[in-house]
Chains A and B, each alone.
Chain A
Amino acid sequence: MNSVTRTAAAPGVSGYDLVWPLVRKDWSFVKGPMLAYLATGLLAVGLLAVENRFALIVGVSLLISAIVIIGVHFIFGTVINERSKQTLPFIMSLPITYGHYSLAKLVSCLGGFTIAWGLIVLTLLAVIGADNHLPPGLAPYAVMVLLELFAAFAVTLAVAMVFESEVWTIVTMTVLNVGISIFMNVVGSLQGVAAHIEGPVPVWNGTVLGIITAELVVILGAVAAALLLQLRKSDFL
């Protein structure tokens, strides 16, 4: 009879070493569409620079749509499809825990979204800061709106990861996206914001900083909640 030797822990190898290969794997599946959406987002920013009301409307719609679709594609392409297309058992058969898997999903989705979102935000701020028809006072408002889109993405990602339900993810996404226009109107009408939107300098007053802080809290809270709730799960398939 053979005696079973205990599986040796390979030196320096842990489940965390597989997080990056999993992230690369996710990115390799979404990179094509992502580049197209990113180009659309940058094109939209370019339209904002054109001094034309129609170009402004199209630019704003396109910009918001590009950011929303980048988030949707990351969430569905990497989190929801992993379960619905039944590739999760393949991934979970690898030497990782569900914690490593969840971390990889957060890194691939948040990381990928942050890169695309960040490029669009920086480009937009550069355009607003340049010498054109866009007032520099618009910058704080633009940052608040774009952070709201980030927060909506983070909350939807958390729902997708924790509930693993296509239906709940779509419901959350729909509600939050409907909320974008409400947010833009409400925030744009606040005294501390409205008074400076068309001003010659950006004003980062208490109202603006308070809203930005709240948005950051929502983003960090959603990420932390997703990770903590995932780590508490004991059954994965």
Chain B
Amino acid sequence: MNTNHIIELAGVSKRYEHFELADVDLALEPGHIMGFIGPNGAGKSTTLRIIMGLIAPDAGTVDVLGRRMPGDQVTAKREIGFASEDMRLYPSATLAWHMDFIRSIYPGWDDPYAAQLLKRFDLHAEQPIKGLSHGQRVKAGLLLVLARRPRLLVLDEPTTGLDPVARTEILNELMEVVLDESRAVLFSSHNTQDVEQLSDQITFIDRGRILTSHDKETFLDSWRRIRFEAPDDFELPSLPAIAETRRSGRLATVTTGQFGPDVATRLTDSGAVIQSIENMTLEEIFVAEVMSSRQGEAA
């Protein structure tokens, strides 16, 4: 176990009848926010629940905050804040009731911070949960998690279904969490915009397998889409990490995940006339990674 990792998964597998999480390795250090991106059914929630000790893996090891999960989950969960998209609060109880309940369990509950969050999120403590909108319910859940001052936040699709204002409020609050460098956030999403805005570490998952995991800058720096004009007898040279090639008449496009100056040189040497080298958004990179991986599996 690496003592620098707040989360460390090694060779984690979990098999269900119609789905398998296979050989997952994942590591998160303090002071970082990791965005965990994958299509629906990719295995994001299963992975996060394994991290929380709520699902026991069939194989592999899971260490969170220096504790082996799921065996040591009681101790580890004292310092983890977990919220998931399918998590609901008690509809007939008020937010104040929930705050009292959580305060009675977590000695580190921060009352002034909770009051601040109530104000920032525009919530009313005495309002029953059933009277809150979806966005208010998500914010209420997050308040209950944040005011415990956990060292690790594990959030499963925290921004799903939120309007842009609520999403921004939540993302801003999460960014403040890691100003304290001993804390970390792992959050799953299929909204790449949120991940791009918030994360400094990004992991892609698809069909139960981790595709890749890097810091955000590495992703954004290494992916390019190159548009060029190709002569009739053009043959694509050997290029690294080609995710996609398209050709329509004389116009062609190549998408690569390992862009460097030599890529453009090789294309030019093969007779291509480069028209543009475009940066890609995280969403485009994600789609390219997934499609490339699936084509590799099909081949």
Which positions in A face B, CB cutoff 8 Å? 1-10, 13-15, 18, 21, 25, 29, 85-87, 89-90, 92-97, 100, 234-237
Contacts and interface: CB of A to CB of B under 8 A. Distances in A.
A94 B74 CA distance: 8
Contacts of A2: 4, 29-31, 181-182
A7 B64 CA distance: 9
Interface in B65-114: 65-67, 70, 73-84, 86-93, 101, 104-105, 107
Interface of B: 3-6, 29-31, 49, 52-56, 65-67, 70, 73-84, 86-93, 101, 104-105, 107, 141, 145, 151, 181-182
B28 to A, nearest CB: 10
A15 B73 CA distance: 10
Contacts of B182: 2
Contact of A21 (B29, B54, B83, B101): B101
Contact of B92 (A1, A18, A29): A29
Contacts of B78: 7, 10, 13, 95
Given A2-B4, A2-B29, A93 B77 contact: yes
A7 B75 contact: yes
21 contacts: A1-B4, A2-B4, A2-B182, A3-B4, A7-B66, A21-B101, A21-B104, A21-B105, A25-B101, A89-B84, A89-B86, A89-B88, A90-B89, A93-B81, A93-B83, A94-B105, A97-B73, A234-B56, A234-B70, A235-B56, A236-B55
Nearest to A25: B101
Given A7-B76, A97-B74, A86 B87 contact: yes
Given A93-B52, A95-B77, A235-B54, A4 B105 contact: no
A3 B56 contact: no
A8 B108 CA distance: 13
Contact of B75 (A90, A95, A235): A95
Nearest to A235: B55
Contacts of B84: 89
Nearest to B48: A237
B220 to A, nearest CB: 23
Contacts of A6: 65-67
A5 B76 CA distance: 11
B86 A86 contact: yes
A18 B56 CA distance: 22
A95 B105 contact: yes
Contacts of B49: 237
Given A10-B107, A86-B87, A87-B88, A4 B54 contact: no
Contacts of B5: 4
Contacts of B107: 10
Given A86-B87, A87-B88, A1 B29 contact: yes
Contacts of B86: 86, 89
Contacts of A18: 105
**Most chain B CB atoms below 10 A, which of A3, A15, A93:** A93
B173 to A, nearest CB: 18
A7 B105 contact: no
Given A9-B75, A15-B74, A25-B101, A85 B29 contact: no
A29 to B, nearest CB: 7
B67 A3 contact: no
Contact of A92 (B54, B56, B101): B54
A88 to B, nearest CB: 9
A231 B83 CA distance: 24
B104 A87 contact: no
**Most chain A CB atoms below 10 A, which of B80, B90, B91, B182:** B90
A198 B65 CA distance: 68
